[in-house]
Structure 1
Amino acid sequence: MELLAKNQGLFLALYRFVVGLLFACHGAATLFNVLGGPQGQAPGFGQWPGWWAAVIELVGGIFVLLGLGTRTAAIVCSGTMAYAYFVVHQPQALFPIQNGGEQAALFCWSFLIIAVFGPGRWALATLLPSRTLEYDSGR
């Protein structure tokens, strides 16, 4: 347990990195038909809400992955997934296992955790000499 406590920052960074990477992959798959393509039909340019959600997934995922503007990006990503869950999935059935909303629910809560705890020391924001980033870097 001492090993876990000593490396808590590293584990938080790995968690942030993986969640951001997976989210960015969803956005890239939808926008550029890569990595197995979009789930379902690809939305047209500017189409609401699919295209905009994919842009948020790609850009927000990259920001979270890198640790730049992490809290803001994580809140936007979490809100996007909450919208996806409650507007797209929840009307079909009550529970995520029934309505296909497991990914949306997991991403929503994952990004909320990242927003609360911040990016930690292992973020690019810690390398930038800006006072506005001190809050975001979790120092």
Structure 2
Amino acid sequence: MRSETPAGLLGDLPDRGREHVIGLFRMVVALMFTCHGIATLFDVLGGSYSGTPDFAEWPTWWASVIQLVGGTLVFLGLGTRSAALVCSGSMAYAYFTKHQPDALFPIENGGEAAAMFCWSFLLVAALGPGRWALVGDRPARAATTPDRTTEQAPATPAP
């Protein structure tokens, strides 16, 4: 009986599915983030933990607008990297100003969601939108075929 490693059983499936998984991750995280903004701004979906903020109230109203607008942009894949970076930064701000003064670790200070959103959006900003983005802002991939219009100089042997 032949023993296969998990990588051998899967073949190149992880590589082929990478962009799909990144796209799904982006959309799920962004949808949950958008729901936080909707719940806080419009007192729906169970409402906010601290009540509905007044218009332009710092920082709650502004954070909710970032959640709504930024989450929607990331979900749709429009300006994904920039929007995800703003979302990540807003959650870092929320964690360090609201949660971290109460205790060091997120499990102690109630900042698990802020920390997870912060790191999740930072990952999306670094990896790009994956599949199903309305505007693909993935970096261009290197050409797989050599440019036939330029000639390559022969390699010189090392001394």
Structure 1 residues without counterparts, runs of 5 or longer: 127-135
Provide, for residues 105-132 of structure 1, a one-character-per-residue CA deviation record: whole Å limited to 9, x for no partner.
0000000000000112421003xxxxxx
Q: Which residue of 1 aligns with 2:39?
A: 29
> Which residue number in structure 2 is paired with residue 48 of structure 1?
58
Q: CA deviation at 1:34?
A: 1.0
Q: Distance in 2 between matches of 1:38 and 1:70?
A: 26
Give deviations 1:13-68, integer Å, cap 9, x for gaps. Answer: 00000011000000000001111111222211100000000000000000000000
Within 5 Å, give how 1:1-139 maps onto structure 2. 1=10, 2-126=12-136, 136-139=137-140
**Aligned letter for 1:119?**
P
Q: C-alpha separation between the residues in 2 aligned to 1:111 and 1:78?
A: 5
Q: Answer whether contact 1:29 1:38 (CA < 8 A) is retained.
A: yes
Could you tell me the TM-score, scaled by structure 1's length?
0.90
C-alpha deviation, 1:5, in angstroms: 1.7
Runs of 4+ in 1 over 6 A off after TM superposition: none
Quote the sequence identity (%).
Answer: 61
Match of 1:133 in 2: none
> Does the aligned pair in 1 maintain the 2:81–2:126 contact within 8 Å?
yes
Q: Is the 8 A contact 2:31 2:71 kept in 1?
A: yes
- Report if the CA contact (8 A) 2:92-2:115 is conserved: yes
Q: 2:61 corresponds to which letter in structure 1?
A: W
CA distance in 2, matches of 1:78, 1:24: 13
Which structure has the larger Rg over C-alpha atoms?
A: 2
Cα contact 2:43–2:51 (8 A) shared by 1? no
TM-score by length of 2: 0.79
The answer as to whether partners of 1:60 and 1:73 remain within 8 angstroms in 2 is yes
Give the alignment's Cα RMSD to 1 decimal: 1.0
Structure 2 residue aligned with 1:129: none
Number of matched pairs: 130
1:3 deviation in Å?
1.8
Q: Which amino acid aligns with 1:55?
A: V
